[in-house]
Amino acid sequence: MPQKQEHGRVAWLDQYNEPDFKDLRKELVAESQRLFDDTRKKLLGFEGVTEHAVWYGDCWHWTVEYRLPRLEIPLAVLIPSPEDLQLAVPFMPVFSEQVSIGRMKRAVRDGFDLAREPYDTSWGVWSLVPGSLLSELMDLVKQKIKFHQTAKS
């Protein structure tokens, strides 16, 4: 059950009070807390990546957004929903068209397909569960970083 802050609101849902990462983590079940920590560590392990709590409205509420300097879209967004920890990654169409999906695991490919034609979104979204595809998702994030570094040079 999500923890309530002193004023009686769940940190993840409280639009008017920016939570710290500890509060967002507290609201997750134990197995998701470990995944939350692992995902944060892996994303912060990429050179130049910063993280910030960002309100994403009624759909994702408070998130942990990861950014790189000079990249106009977020690198990734960690969605600490107490019921369903998720990772969302926005992709520019030019990147999506160049990624080879043939060797991706089906679950990664299914999420990535949401960011490609004919869908009207540029976000891939995946639920993170123990034994999930975290390493494959980090490989996809790494490809995104390399693509944008190459495009900027």
Cβ proximity of 92 and 122 under 8 Å: yes
Domain 21-152 has CATH 3.90.1150: yes
For the chain, 153 residues long, give each residue's pLDDT as a single digit of tens. 455 445 457 898 999 999 999 999 999 999 999 999 999 999 999 999 999 999 999 989 999 999 999 889 999 999 999 999 999 999 887 887 788 777 888 888 888 777 666 666 789 899 998 887 899 999 999 999 999 888 765
Q: What is this structure's pTM?
A: 0.88
Separation between Cα atoms, residue 104 and residue 22, nearest integer Å: 33
